Structure 1
Amino acid sequence: MIKNYYQQLLNFLKSPDFLKSIIVTFGIVLPLIIGIQIDQISYLLSVSIGVFLTSGSDVPGSRKHKSIGILIATLIAVLTTIAITYVAPNPYLLVPTMSLLIFGISFISVYGFRASLISFSGLLAIVLSFAHPQVGQEILIQGLFIAIGGFWYLFLSAIFHPLLQKRQINKELSSCLQFTAQYIRIRGNLAIGEGKAEELKKELFELQTTINATHETLRELLLTERQSSGFSNYKRKQLLIFIELIDILELSMANPANYEKINSLFLEKPHYVRPFIDLVFQLSDRLDQMAIAMLENKKLSHKIDFNILIQLCEKTIQTYKNDIGLPEAREGALLLRNLLEYEENQIQKIDSIERVFYDLENRKNIGIRSKEGKQFITQQDYDLNILSENFSFKSPILKHSARLTIAMLLAYTIGTLFSLQNTYWILLTIVVIMRPGYTLTKERSKHRLYGTLIGASIASIIVLINQNTYLFAFLAIVSLTLALSFIQKNYKTASVFITTSIVFIYTLINPDAFEVIQYRVVDTIIGAAIAFGAGTLLWPTWESESIQNTILKVLRANRKYLAQIDRYYHENSGLTDYKLARKEAFLEMGNLNAAFQRLSQEPKSQQHHVGKINEIVSINQTLLAAMASLGTYLINHKENEVSKDFEFIIKTIDLNLKQAIQRLLKKDQTGSISEDELELAHQHLEERFESLVSIRNQELAFKKTKPIDPQLRKRLQSTRLISDQMKWLVTISGNIKKVIESLESDLVK
């Protein structure tokens, strides 16, 4: 137990979050120390504020994107500070200036995550302008030193970028390995019915959202830099691991229909399935071992011989056929054979990753084709038209900007009327807590309150038992470092350390620490109440208002994915387009999962048609998995000729999705499929399988123990799987259409 905690502590100390927090803390503290030494603390404090304001925009990405983000954050911080400080003495100028700046700065969040952090820096600049008011030329001098702080942090960021980038890639890759291992393990539990199926599926949906976010971060980290000059050997290996992990995820997702069938077919005979599931768990454990080795920078433990487990699975299939007898055992044997083939494909992928760990893999072409790589990066569009498109109360960002503006003006008015000592603390609480969505604002409010109360309690105890100013200075620095380490990952913990750092800093200035703690707690409660009240009463953005649009995006992405599966099957080309369509489908499905989770946490009065939306989410997940299963199999088993029956069924599936989209858009449904023709197409696929079965039965009629020809077995597997998957996809897509039609009918009522 102690060893585990020690290892977790070591991993935290080696994490990129902790390294970045040290860099930021160093950037903040060094100017303060110099200021004290040369007796110019007021100017050097502005440098530290500049570092604090601009460091928030420094998130994982290319050197270029990070530098541009820091420079823009610096510019906004300087201009905002100067503007607010100039008009602060005149309330008739201050109120409109605050309104325009708060609304405008928060509105730039429409440009994505990095822009939202730049926006946050600008809002913090507004708040901190009230903490250190200046007059006359001092205003411009203060702005100049804030700019120096921004450039100082840009310098630090540039110096430590390679080290930070390397740690970030290692951390994200190890997390991706762990998440993928967990995904495989849950799939295995679903196959053998261990645990409640609904809870496992919910966990699976949430996990897929997390994996998608990790994949996006890794694409940004691995594919944005050095596109023209190629990849270093280190990055080439990291990229190879990432590529294999994406394929492993698709393979894992490609088997839910089979798993459900396994669960039903072998319900009374689980011992036949157990060796296969044990192999699944071994694969999961191996990925976990790789994650730990990468995170701890250790050598990978001895190589596992999966051949022994594969031979046991082969033996189990033969035992099953002998025990049950043919032809009764044929369907189950083919199902197990397909499962084993899937596991062998996973072993190949894991073996490729192992070769990277052992420095045996040397694929020089990985990562060289920059144009292809850039296609997989989700590019942020910075067109000015996006601002005009979002300038409507249909936009969650515009409503958030208006809410935030009103909340901060209200807080400032309350602070002024009641002559509160630190009004800017209330403003700071509102800026930190308020988010475009109700659920996130609610969570941040709770975390902020809990963190403040816990932090205030800890600081009170320390102040009671010790009055050493050097200790307070040390604890302030440590608290700031830890707060910055947790700010993105665990806001509740970050709030604890933010509170302790503020208390210790103010204790150095004002010996009455309990007065500081009192004001801190009271101002946090006021700020949280205003933020939560504004988020609930002022044009709240409920997930039920936008989730239909999210469902639309999922259906469109699934149609594209299906089209690329069909195209590759026909042309045996366009693998990049197939992978791009797969990526989009996975991302949109992850967005839908996340949207539904937010919906389920909103007030019951706002959870409209939550049951049917849950059904739509679940069916779409199953559809995506079934398409992944079909696509993976077709890519690895190219047929010489594509049957017309296959084409007809693909058109049927696509039409079901198209009509579901039309229904959501309240358009007339176009196109129709003859049920008789569809039944005939299914029948033809089934007849192909039966004809192959007949050939095998004739062989067995002459010799009961004659081994099956490998080519015949592959054709049996292929025909059975394709026939089952096509039926399954028609059923799922039809169910999606029915549920959406039912949902739309309820909305009309």
Structure 2
Amino acid sequence: MIAKIRNFTDSTYFTNALKVTIAAVLPVLLFSFLGHFQTGFTIALGAFFTYPSDIPSSLKHKINGILVTAFLVAGVNLVVNIVYPLHWFFYPFLALLIFFLSMISVYGQRATMVSFSALLTFSLAFAHIHSGLEMLQYSGLLLVGGLFYLLISLLFYYISPHRYAELQIASCISLTSKYLKLRGDLWKIDADKKTIIDKQLHLQVALNTIHQNIRKVLLGNQSTVAASAQNRKVLIVFIALVEILELALSTAFDHDKLHQKFDAHPKVLVTYQNLAYNLASTLKKIAKSVENRTKYTYKHSLLQDLNALEQAILEYENNLGKIEASEGVFMLTTMLEYAEKQVEKIKIVEKAFSLKIKESDFKGKDKDLEKFLKPQYYPISTLIENFSFSSTLFRHSLRLTLTILIGFVIGQLLPFQNIYWILLTIIVIMRPGYGLTKERSYQRTFGTILGGLIAFGIILLVHNSILISLFAIISMLLGFSFTHINYRISATFVTMYIVFIYGILTPNIGDVIQYRILDTIVGSLLASMSNYFFWPSWEFMNIPIFLEKSIQANRNYLQEISLFYNQKGTVSTTYKLARKNAFIEIGNLMASIQRMVQEPKSKQKLVPQVYKLAVLNHTLLSSMASMGTYIQSHKTTSASEAFNAVVNTVLKNLEEAVAILKEENTEKSTENPVKEDIAKRFTELKNIRFKELKEGNTSTDAAFLLKMQEAQLVIEQLVWLTNLSENILKNTKAVMET
């Protein structure tokens, strides 16, 4: 229990909540002591409005983002106060303001949070409409609050500049460990492959997010990376983890075939599975060490596990004889090599957290790294391109604008105490997707009712304003801490915080709770209904786009693998980028499917078929990664005409699938795959090998074994890739024709 509390208080979420709590509480305490509570409270609001834009990034982007938000918050409040008395102009201006503030989100995550901050300011501007000099004073105090929050955020940054990166890398290590554990589960005789693959696909979504977070911090400012030994260490670990994930994905063995071949010799598979589990266990221990800030010490026997697998392979070969065991030995040797590479990568991670990183360890690691992060610039063309009903954000902005206007009119016509609570609820709950909006509507309503009842009960029992203030601060801290962990709990504590504040300021606390609950229910209903009826963005409409991107990314990755196999040399940056994009797009596809299953049953179209395509794409990526990893780490022969012909066939199948998703006219390829030709090559090699074994000729064993291993792995993967691409094409046609 103590360990869980310690981990919670050391988490990024708690740290961020602590920053905004300090930035909001200190001005209130200071100015209350000086007899100017309202001034302190306004500054606190400025800090609160600015806080959402403080997302992980380089220091430069953090400062710029917070500064822009602070000035935008002050500007939005000032404009609303200026325009409010102009009734003939107010409503059209209101609509345009909401729409454009929402459309800022087209520029990415930080812009989305800046947009959210500005919309929060807009809604709460109606709590106190000012005129004359008061407008400038109030907006100025909001700006001061935003700048004060920036000061607090920078203070936290310089106290512990690397902690966020450490926690993110610990999470990345932990998720990678889970992925390795799932790969190990596939070796069970009665393994539920469907469930395991489903877990892997969902895990890929989380890995995509964590990888992007780490890239933003480490690669957002190259000078910072180069100057910090700690950042160098985290960067080396991150690169190793990406490679570990690729290796894990690349172990695309035919488990059914392997079980058929080795079930009579269970020691081999059990030994390999034990090694796979120990790889995962080692990473898990490293992650715990980083989280707890303890020095990592070696506590495993991976080298012994490798030796045990080697011995198991020798025993298998001796029991069956060299001739009969030859094919099985090739398979097992490939498995052993993958395991050896994983141990090498894990050693890099271990070394990073147990020894000091040398400059030489980092040499060349930062080459072209900035290409792995989307550049941060904001061309007007991006905004213009999204002025179309084909844009999800355009429809969301229209929907949000109309819903807020309806909420505002309802608040004006009916006897609601605080209109801004309705607007605030709509802004906080409403998301582009129906599923998340509905879920947050329920969670916020539940949290508001529960938090209101708990806080009201406490106020009835406690009459000490200092004690209630303490409860308010604790509620605020916990409310912000749980925002990204459990929104229902977050809504409960935020409501308690608001009720406690009103409990100190006003005597009619019962009316406050009653109206807040009523306003929350109205806002939640409006948000949910609008997402259903006003230009809805059902996920099935976006699925073809995500399918197209995933298939196209796999196609580009295969093209880079083929290019590397033909030209040899060093792995290019374009190869690495293609690999990264293939991983990201399969995660994006799964995230889209996850969103679709949250929507009404009537809108969950072709879920089984789309999920099947996601699995096929994931399997295709696994097979390509297997071949790509092998040709990177072995001295391979020249690519044959048969190899290039098969690869071209696979590429054409994937291109045709993309064209179908784009609803373009396609001509069916008349070129027949030459799988049989390339398979004959391997059969000939096997026959030669058998003959040599019979004759006792072992003079060229090492080179010949390597050639045999290459032939087997490449041919098997090519045949598998062809089958997968044909299935992808077939299922794509079925989905688009339905």
TM-score above 0.5, yes or no: yes
Q: What letter matches 2:131 in structure 1?
A: V
Aligned to 1:694: 687
Cα shift readout 1:353-394 (whole Å, capped 9, x = no counterpart) = 111122154253627676611111123451111111111111
304-313 or 706-715: which moved more? 706-715
* 2:603 corresponds to 1:606: yes
For 1:241-256, list aligned pairs within 5 A.
241-256=237-252
In the superposition, relative to structure 1, how do residues 328 and 360 fare at CA in structure 2: closer, same or farther (>3 Å)? farther
Aligned to 2:706: 714
Cα shift readout 1:613-634 (whole Å, capped 9, x = no counterpart) = 1111111111111111111111
Q: What letter matches 1:693 in structure 2?
A: K
Partner SS, residue 714 of structure 1: helix
Aligned to 1:395: 391
* 2:6 corresponds to 1:10: yes
CA distance in 2, matches of 1:17, 1:666: 44
For 1:162-201, list aligned pairs within 5 A.
162-163=158-159, 165-193=161-189, 195-201=191-197
Aligned to 2:624: 627
CA contact (8 A) 2:609 2:731 kept: yes
CA distance in 2, matches of 1:482, 1:228: 32
603-612 or 321-330: which moved more? 321-330
CA distance in 1, matches of 2:509, 2:225: 56
Cα shift readout 1:522-579 (whole Å, capped 9, x = no counterpart) = 2211111111111111111001111101111112211211111112222223432211
Q: CA deviation at 1:230?
A: 1.9
Q: What letter matches 2:34 in structure 1?
A: I
CA contact (8 A) 2:50 2:149 kept: yes
443-452 or 389-398: which moved more? 443-452
545-554 or 724-733: which moved more? 545-554
Q: What letter matches 2:582 in structure 1?
A: A
709-718 or 332-341: which moved more? 709-718
Aligned to 2:208: 212
CA contact (8 A) 2:649 2:671 kept: no
In the superposition, relative to structure 1, how do residues 371 and 128 fare at CA in structure 2: closer, same or farther (>3 Å)? farther
In the superposition, relative to structure 1, how do residues 585 and 133 fare at CA in structure 2: closer, same or farther (>3 Å)? same
Cα shift readout 1:192-239 (whole Å, capped 9, x = no counterpart) = 255532222111111001001111110111112243882321111111
Aligned to 1:338: 334
In the superposition, relative to structure 1, how do residues 317 and 363 fare at CA in structure 2: closer, same or farther (>3 Å)? farther
Partner SS, residue 293 of structure 1: helix
The alignment's C-alpha RMSD in Å is: 2.1
Q: CA deviation at 1:155?
A: 2.1
Partner SS, residue 739 of structure 1: helix
For 1:436-455, list aligned pairs within 5 A.
436-455=432-451
Q: CA deviation at 1:8?
A: 1.3
1:49 pairs with 45, 67, 78, which one? 45
2:116 pairs with 120, 124, 128, which one? 120
* 2:353 corresponds to 1:353: no
Partner SS, residue 389 of structure 2: coil
CA contact (8 A) 2:565 2:638 kept: no
CA distance in 2, matches of 1:128, 1:86: 15
2:273 pairs with 277, 280, 286, which one? 277
CA contact (8 A) 1:31 1:45 kept: yes
Partner SS, residue 230 of structure 1: helix
CA contact (8 A) 1:82 1:139 kept: yes
Aligned to 1:554: 550
CA distance in 2, matches of 1:76, 1:368: 41
Aligned to 2:289: 293
Partner SS, residue 56 of structure 1: helix
In the superposition, relative to structure 1, how do residues 172 and 231 fare at CA in structure 2: closer, same or farther (>3 Å)? same
2:540 pairs with 544, 548, 556, which one? 544
CA distance in 2, matches of 1:436, 1:268: 54
Q: CA deviation at 1:476?
A: 0.7
In the superposition, relative to structure 1, how do residues 79 and 499 fare at CA in structure 2: closer, same or farther (>3 Å)? same
* 2:725 corresponds to 1:733: yes
2:473 pairs with 465, 470, 477, which one? 477
Partner SS, residue 191 of structure 1: coil
Number of matched residues?
737
CA distance in 1, matches of 2:285, 2:714: 35
1:579 pairs with 568, 572, 576, which one? 576
CA contact (8 A) 1:127 1:424 kept: yes
CA contact (8 A) 2:123 2:423 kept: yes
1:30 pairs with 14, 21, 26, which one? 26
TM-score by length of 2: 0.96
In the superposition, relative to structure 1, how do residues 505 and 195 fare at CA in structure 2: closer, same or farther (>3 Å)? farther
Q: CA deviation at 1:243?
A: 0.5
736-745 or 378-387: which moved more? 378-387
Q: CA deviation at 1:515?
A: 2.8
CA distance in 2, matches of 1:148, 1:518: 33
Partner SS, residue 299 of structure 1: coil
Aligned to 2:422: 426
Partner SS, residue 624 of structure 1: helix
Aligned to 1:588: 585
CA contact (8 A) 1:47 1:149 kept: yes
2:304 pairs with 303, 308, 311, which one? 308
CA distance in 1, matches of 2:190, 2:482: 35
Q: CA deviation at 1:732?
A: 0.5
CA distance in 1, matches of 2:666, 2:208: 33
Aligned to 1:66: 62
Q: What letter matches 1:586 in structure 2?
A: F
* 2:715 corresponds to 1:723: yes
In the superposition, relative to structure 1, how do residues 20 and 693 fare at CA in structure 2: closer, same or farther (>3 Å)? same
1:457 pairs with 446, 453, 472, which one? 453
TM-score by length of 1: 0.94
Q: CA deviation at 1:326?
A: 4.7
Q: CA deviation at 1:478?
A: 1.1
In the superposition, relative to structure 1, how do residues 194 and 517 fare at CA in structure 2: closer, same or farther (>3 Å)? farther
Partner SS, residue 360 of structure 2: coil
CA distance in 2, matches of 1:249, 1:522: 49
1:203 pairs with 199, 202, 206, which one? 199
Percent identical pairs in the alignment equals: 35
Q: CA deviation at 1:649?
A: 1.1
CA contact (8 A) 1:19 1:164 kept: no
CA contact (8 A) 1:426 1:524 kept: yes
CA distance in 1, matches of 2:366, 2:259: 44
CA distance in 1, matches of 2:258, 2:501: 62
Q: What letter matches 1:737 in structure 2?
A: L
For 1:344-383, list aligned pairs within 5 A.
344-359=340-355, 361-364=357-360, 366=362, 372-383=368-379
CA distance in 1, matches of 2:527, 2:623: 44
CA distance in 1, matches of 2:366, 2:695: 59
Q: CA deviation at 1:159?
A: 2.8
CA distance in 2, matches of 1:363, 1:259: 42
Cα shift readout 1:165-186 (whole Å, capped 9, x = no counterpart) = 4111011100000000000111
Q: CA deviation at 1:254?
A: 0.6
Aligned to 1:660: 657
In the superposition, relative to structure 1, how do residues 164 and 544 fare at CA in structure 2: closer, same or farther (>3 Å)? farther
Q: CA deviation at 1:489?
A: 3.3
2:486 pairs with 478, 484, 490, which one? 490
Q: Which runs of 5+ in 2 are unaligned?
A: none
Cα shift readout 1:679-714 (whole Å, capped 9, x = no counterpart) = 3xx34433433343334323432459x799333322
1:638 pairs with 635, 640, 648, which one? 635
Partner SS, residue 49 of structure 1: helix
508-517 or 285-294: which moved more? 508-517
